[in-house]
Structure 1
C-alpha cells in the first residue's frame, strides 16, 4: 500500500495551504492508497477529515491515519502515531522534553520517530544538543523519516544512513504544506492498513517495503530568509508558546494515570493482532 506519511493540512496547521479534502483528491490522482495527517501539535486536520467522512462517506477507499508532528522542548520535531482508542490531549500541547514524550507515547502503545532528522537545525533531532549528548535515545525510536521532499538531498542521505546504522524502519513523507509538494514522496507498506493499529503493527513488524521522495523538488531558502535570524525567531516562538502552555501541560501529564485506567492494555490492540504489546503503568510519568 502506498502512503504519504507526513502531511500538513490547512485545517490543522497554521502554515498549511491545502484543505484535507483537496489533499485526498490530489493524492488519489497520484495513485496513493492513504495518508498520515501530521499537523503541528494538532489533530484538527484529522477531525476535519472525520467530519467530512461521517457526513458524506466520501473517500471510503482511501485510508487516512491520525498522527501529529510534535514540537519537543529539546530535540526538534517528532512524528507520533497512537492506537485508535487512545486519545491524549497532552500531544496537542507542545513543549514536552523528548524523554517524557517517548515515555508517554510508548506507555500508551504508540510509536514515534524524528521528522527530517537532519533538516533545518532548529527543527531537527540530530542537530539538537539532546541527541548529541544522548545518542542512545535513538535506539528507542520506532522509525526514522529518511526521505522528506522539503529537505536538501544531503540531509536525506544522512537520514538514510542513520536508519541503516540503527536498523530502524525508514519512512518517507512529502511534508507538503502547498499543492506543488503533494505526491512527491511515498512509503510502500507490505501490510494491509485500515487504521492506526495496523500501521503501528506494520512498523513494529518492519513491513515497510520501500520509500523515496523527489528531493530535487527542494528549493534553497531565499536570500532574505537566509539573512534574517529565523533560527532565533523560531526558538523564541517555540519556547514562548511552550512556556505559556506549561500549566496546561502539567495538568495533562498528571491526568495520564487516570487515562491509563480508562485505556487498559487490553484496549490498546485487538488480541488477534499479529503483534500485541502489553504496556504497563510503570512506563508512564510519575
Structure 2
C-alpha cells in the first residue's frame, strides 16, 4: 500500500480547467475529480501502478464511464486494458507516485531524476537512473531495467510539444536545454504571484550563458530579491531575460556601488561641482 499524491497546483492546471468546462449543460462542474480522487486512493491501496478497472468505478457512481471519459478527454487519464479487463490509467502515474515493489527511498530519488533530468534531457553520471536510452528504456549504471512500467513512460518528443502548446495558452514553458540552475531560479521567481507565468522558452544560448554566470556570481536568492525589488506591479515582465540588465548592474557580493564623482564647475574661480556649486547658487540668488 502507498500514498496517492495530489499536486498542490492541480486546482489551477490547464487540464483541470478543461475538465471544469467539459459538462454538456453546466458552465462549471468538477464532479469527475471525486471519482479521480477515489481512484487514486484505490490504486495506491492495491498497488496497480495507476490502473483502475471500469467495474470498480461503476461501484462508486452511476455515471462512472461518463466522468472517466471527461478525465480522458482532458488528458488526466488514458483508456487501458489489463488481463482483458477494461479500465483507465492515470497519466504519468509512475512519475508522481511510488510504483509497486519500489523502495520509498528509491521513489524519492527517481522523482528528482524525472523532474530534473529526464524531463529536460539531462544525463547526470552521478544519478543511478540516468543513462542514454537503449531500445526506448531507461537503464541505470548497472544496466538493469528501470522499475517504471512501460505504459506510463512518456514520449519525450510528444511531451515537449505538449508543453510548448500549453504555454501558448496559459502557462510557463521551460526550454533552456536542461539547465537545472536556471530552472531553480525560474521556479523561485514564479513563487511570486505576478511572476507565476514567467517564461523561459525564448532563451538563446547567449541569454543562458549570461544568466548562469549571474547565478554563479550572486546566487539565485540575490537575483530573486533584486528582481522583486524592481518589479512593476502594473507591468510585470513575462520573460526571464527581462531581468538580466538589472542583474548585470548589481555589484559583486560584499562590494558597494561606486559613487560617480560630479565634474568640477567650469566657471572661473568656482570651487564647487556641476551638481552643486555654492558660487553658482549665490550668483543665481543675487540675480533675482
Alignment TM-score > 0.5, same fold: no
Q: Which protein has the bigger strand share?
A: 1
* TM-score, normalised via structure 2 length: 0.24
Quick check: which has more Rg, 1 or 2?
A: 2
* TM-score, normalised via structure 1 length: 0.24
